[in-house]
Chains A and B, each alone.
Chain A
Amino acid sequence: GESVGLHLPTLSVQEGDNSIINCAYSNSASDYFIWYKQESGKGPQFIIDIRSNMDKRQGQRVTVLLNKTVKHLSLQIAATQPGDSAVYFCAEKNQAGTALIFGKGTTLSVSS
């Protein structure tokens, strides 16, 4: 069945470190992937997306890497700050290509 998973449910880093959040996806036909951040008590917010014709895309302090060979997606956060503490979700298209399905999420905790 369709599933989008993350390798680790929790990740703890020190302020200033770089963080890497991983995601394994199952739909090899998905041509679109997206990362969301959810802070406590709020709805998920868009971070960055990438299409399957790209291997890497950079935003402000964030980079998404896509490895289609092993169906792996990662989100790199540079110089992690306490405000980056949140749950991070990856998402891919469903098999029908009509909607996005999400992974289980990774909780990032940043200590000062």
Chain B
Amino acid sequence: DADVTQTPRNRITKTGKRIMLECSQTKGHDRMYWYRQDPGLGLRLIYYSFDVKDINKGEISDGYSVSRQAQAKFSLSLESAIPNQTALYFCATSARVTGELFFGEGSRLTVL
């Protein structure tokens, strides 16, 4: 089984719908992250969390919210999806900021 699991892997939705992407990890790491990947733009940080009581905005947090339900679970929500949120979303974990990030396989979201 994967250390970092994202669900769903693919989702097509319509403008205005609420969407939740879920991430769970078995690494035992405190730090969890959500990144967005667009062609030609690399990976951009949306939100990150150091523990269940800590949430931090990243480079592009507008239009997104997150919830850290437990040490192992970090979900990303789009309250009202819009087409320019069509992208590949990655969850990642790390034991510390200066160290390897472990990524999930990605969740591809299409907003029509």
| Chain A residues with a Cβ under 8 A of chain B | 2, 4, 9, 31-32, 34, 36, 42-46, 49, 51, 89, 91, 93-94, 97-105
Contacts and interface: CB of A to CB of B under 8 A. Distances in A.
A99 B42 contact: no
A62 to B, nearest CB: 15
Q: How large is the interface on B (under 10, 10 to 19, 20 to 34, 35 or more residues)?
A: 20 to 34
B48 interface: yes
18 contacts: A2-B59, A31-B98, A32-B98, A34-B101, A36-B101, A43-B4, A43-B90, A43-B103, A44-B101, A49-B100, A51-B98, A89-B43, A94-B45, A94-B59, A99-B56, A102-B42, A102-B45, A104-B42
B51 interface: no
A76 B98 CA distance: 21
Contact of B40 (A2, A98, A104): A104
A44 B100 contact: no
Given A51-B98, A97-B97, A102 B106 contact: no
**What are the 7 closest A-B residue pairs judged by CB atoms, nearest first?**
A43-B103, A104-B42, A102-B43, A32-B98, A46-B100, A102-B42, A105-B42
Contacts of B58: 99
B34 to A, nearest CB: 11
Contact of B100 (A4, A34, A101): A34
Interface in B33-87: 33, 35, 40-45, 48, 50, 56, 58-59
B41 A100 contact: no
B30 interface: no
Given A51-B98, A97-B97, A102-B35, A43 B105 contact: yes
A76 B33 CA distance: 28
